[in-house]
Homo-oligomer: A and B are copies of this chain.
Amino acid sequence: MAELTYLQAISDGLRTEMRRDKRVFLIGEDVGVYGGAFKVSLGFQEEFGPWRVIDAPLAETAIVGGATGAAIMGLRPVAEMQFADFISCAWDHLVTIAAKQRWRAGTPVPIVVRLPSGGGFSGGPFHSQNPESSFAHIPGLKCVCPSTPEDAKGLLISAIEDPNPVLYFEHKHLYRRIKGEVPEERYTTPIGKARTHQEGSDISVITWGAMVYTAEEAAQQLDADGVSVEIIDLRTVMPWDKAAVLESARKTSKVLVLHEDTRTGGFGAEIAASIAEEAFEDLDAPVKRIAAPDCPVPFSPVLEKAFIPQVDDVVGGLRELAAY
Contact = CB atoms under 8 A, between A and B. Distances in A.
A294 to B, nearest CB: 4
A215 to B, nearest CB: 19
Contacts of A99: 296
B273 A139 contact: no
Interface string A89-114: 10110011001100110000000000
A296 B139 contact: yes
A276 B272 contact: yes
A140 B286 contact: no
A112 B125 CA distance: 23
Nearest to A99: B296
B273 A280 contact: no
Interface string A255-291: 0000000101111111011101110100101111100
B264 A136 contact: yes
A133 interface: yes
A89 B92 contact: yes
A200 B150 CA distance: 54
Contacts of A126: 96
A126 B101 CA distance: 12
Contact of A273 (B91, B136, B272, B283): B272
A300 interface: no
A88 interface: yes
A264 B269 CA distance: 10
Contacts of A287: 273, 276-277
Contact of A139 (B268, B276, B288, B295): B295
Interface residues of A, number: 45
Nearest to A268: B273
B269 A273 contact: yes
A134 interface: yes
B273 A103 contact: no
Interface in A138-195: 138-140
A15 interface: no
Nearest to A91: B91
A62 B238 CA distance: 32
Contacts of A288: 277
Nearest to A95: B88
A251 interface: no
A100 B88 CA distance: 14
Contacts of A283: 280
Given A272-B277, A289-B277, A296-B103, A133 B125 contact: no
A89 B95 CA distance: 10
Contact of A264 (B139, B272, B280): B139
Contacts of A280: 283, 285-286
A137 interface: yes
A221 to B, nearest CB: 23
A238 B85 CA distance: 22
Contacts of A89: 92
A186 B268 CA distance: 41
